């Protein structure tokens, strides 16, 4: 989001020394040059780590293929079964060709959310640029699949045939608007949730040392640290739920593309 | 006292925009509360509907996130 805002000037202005939005600044890993298309930045590093983790989970999980699964294999099987069941339940059996895509989306979002929770880490999913790419790809996939599978019949998604006839044009307008808002809300939900959570943690983390130096700090600092711990626990939950919500909404959109008739 | 009137408007606007997040809180509370009261009446049917609940939460929450976004834009991007 608006993350390339000024960094270290906040302290000079007399504001918080640890500005809550500073953690989202994209900076080059080596040197201080400008960020170009092919500059290796902290985003690149954490995205690569995310992908390495996903590959490690799936490769290690399937390497032994034992009848009694070990720890890594159980986790890999659990994730696979969970997403497969979700695709089948929500989008139907004929959505299964898209299962690899949806599993990839889920694992990428889940791991970048969880890796972002490590101290000093960078949350790649907190950037609207990252989530928008995924959401727009989902939107394009759904639209293209809808038109390829149903032809012009896909447009019946907007024509609610169960509604009374005079109401249908108005409903069609609303449906079209809500269809095109999908990629916006899809991407902003994930980025906004991750960014808000991390900013809140940072605000409380800045509280603790600031207030410790002034009189009542002995009382307030432990409270502040308790609050960080509680919010961190909530963020672990949110990291999973947002990955889940992103994938389940992808499934819902896919169901619309495969079965557009209300 | 320093700063100008535009900055004051920016801060007041950001504060007003974050009121919308309270609406999202009410909405999400409504969704989960109604799910729970339905689930306790018929617990055997509840398991299959958790996905629907999460979709409902996601839709209700998205609008709160929008108002949060407006607040952030006012604070940092304007």
pLDDT, tens only, A141-163: 999 999 999 888 888 888 888 88
Considering only CB atoms, which chain A residues are within 8 Å of B61? 189, 193
- Taking CB atoms and an 8 Å limit, are A196 and B54 in contact across chains? no
Rg (CA), chain B: 18
What is the pLDDT averaged over residues A24-37?
Answer: 83
Q: pLDDT band for position B4 (50/70/90)?
A: confident
- Whether B65 sits inside 8 A of A188 (CB atoms) is yes
DSSP state for residue A118 in the 8-state scheme: S
Mean pLDDT across B60-77: 82
Average predicted confidence (pLDDT) for chain A: 86
Mean pLDDT, chain B, integer: 87
Residue B40 has pLDDT above 80, yes or no: yes
Cβ-defined contact of B76 to A241 (cutoff 8 Å): no
Q: Is A121 left (phi over 0), alpha (psi -120 to 50) or beta?
A: beta
Cβ–Cβ gap A248/B62 under 8 Å: no
Confidence tier at A54 by pLDDT (50, 70, 90): very high
In this structure, the number of other CB atoms found within 10 A of the CB of residue A213 comes to 8
For residue A5, name the pLDDT band (cuts at 50, 70, 90).
very low
Confidence of residue A15 (pLDDT cuts 50, 70, 90): low
Distances (CA, A) of A238 to A20, A81, A109, A124, B54: 19, 21, 12, 15, 12
Percent of chain B with pLDDT over 90: 36
- Contacts of residue A88, defined as CB under 8 A and 6 or more positions apart, other chains included, come to A95, A96
Instruction: State the first-to-last Cα distance of chain B, in angstroms, to the nearest integer.
Output: 21
pLDDT in tens, A64-80: 888 888 889 999 999 99
Q: Taking every pair of C-alpha atoms in chain A, what is the biggest distance, in angstroms?
A: 71
Name the residue among A5, A89, A188 with its Cβ closest to that of B76. Answer: A5
* Stated pTM of the model: 0.85
CB-based contact A189:A134 (threshold 8 Å)? no
pLDDT, mean of residues A194-222: 80
8 A C-beta contact, residue A167 and residue A149: no
């Amino acid at each position: 989001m608006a993350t390339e805002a000024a960094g270290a000037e906040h302290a000079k202005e007399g504001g918080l020394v640890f500005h809550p939005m500073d953690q989202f600044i994209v900076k080059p890993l080596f040197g201080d040059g400008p960020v170009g298309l092919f500059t290796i930045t902290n985003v690149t590093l954490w995205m690569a780590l995310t992908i390495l983790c996903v590959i490690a989970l799936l490769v290690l999980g399937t390497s032994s293929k034992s009848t009694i699964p070990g720890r890594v294999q159980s986790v890999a099987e659990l994730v696979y079964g969970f997403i497969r069941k979700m695709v089948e339940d929500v989008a139907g059996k004929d959505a299964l060709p898209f299962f690899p895509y949806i599993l990839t989306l889920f694992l990428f979002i889940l791991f970048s959310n969880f890796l972002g929770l490590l101290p000093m880490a960078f949350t790649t999913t907190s950037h609207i640029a990252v989530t928008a790419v995924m959401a727009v790809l989902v939107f394009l996939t759904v639209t293209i699949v809808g038109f390829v599978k149903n032809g012009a019949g896909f447009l019946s998604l907007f024509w609610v045939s169960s509604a009374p006839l005079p109401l249908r044009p108005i409903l069609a307008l609303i449906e079209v608007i809500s269809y095109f808002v999908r990629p916006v809300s899809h991407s902003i939900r994930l980025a906004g949730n991750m960014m808000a959570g991390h900013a809140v943690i940072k605000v409380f983390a800045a509280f603790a040392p600031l207030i410790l130096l002034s009189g009542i700090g002995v009382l307030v600092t432990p409270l502040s640290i308790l609050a960080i711990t509680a919010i961190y626990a909530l963020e672990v939950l949110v990291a999973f739920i947002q990955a889940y919500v992103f994938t389940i909404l992808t499934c819902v959109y896919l169901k619309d593309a495969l079965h557009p008739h209300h | 006292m320093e700063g100008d009137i535009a900055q004051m408007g920016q801060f007041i606007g950001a504060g007003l925009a974050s009121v919308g997040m309270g609406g999202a809180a009410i909405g999400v509370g409504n969704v989960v509360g109604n799910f729970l009261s339905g689930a306790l009446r018929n617990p055997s049917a509840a398991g299959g509907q958790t996905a629907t609940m999460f979709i409902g939460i996601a839709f209700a929450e998205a609008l709160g996130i929008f108002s949060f976004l407006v607040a952030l834009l006012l604070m940092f991007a304007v």
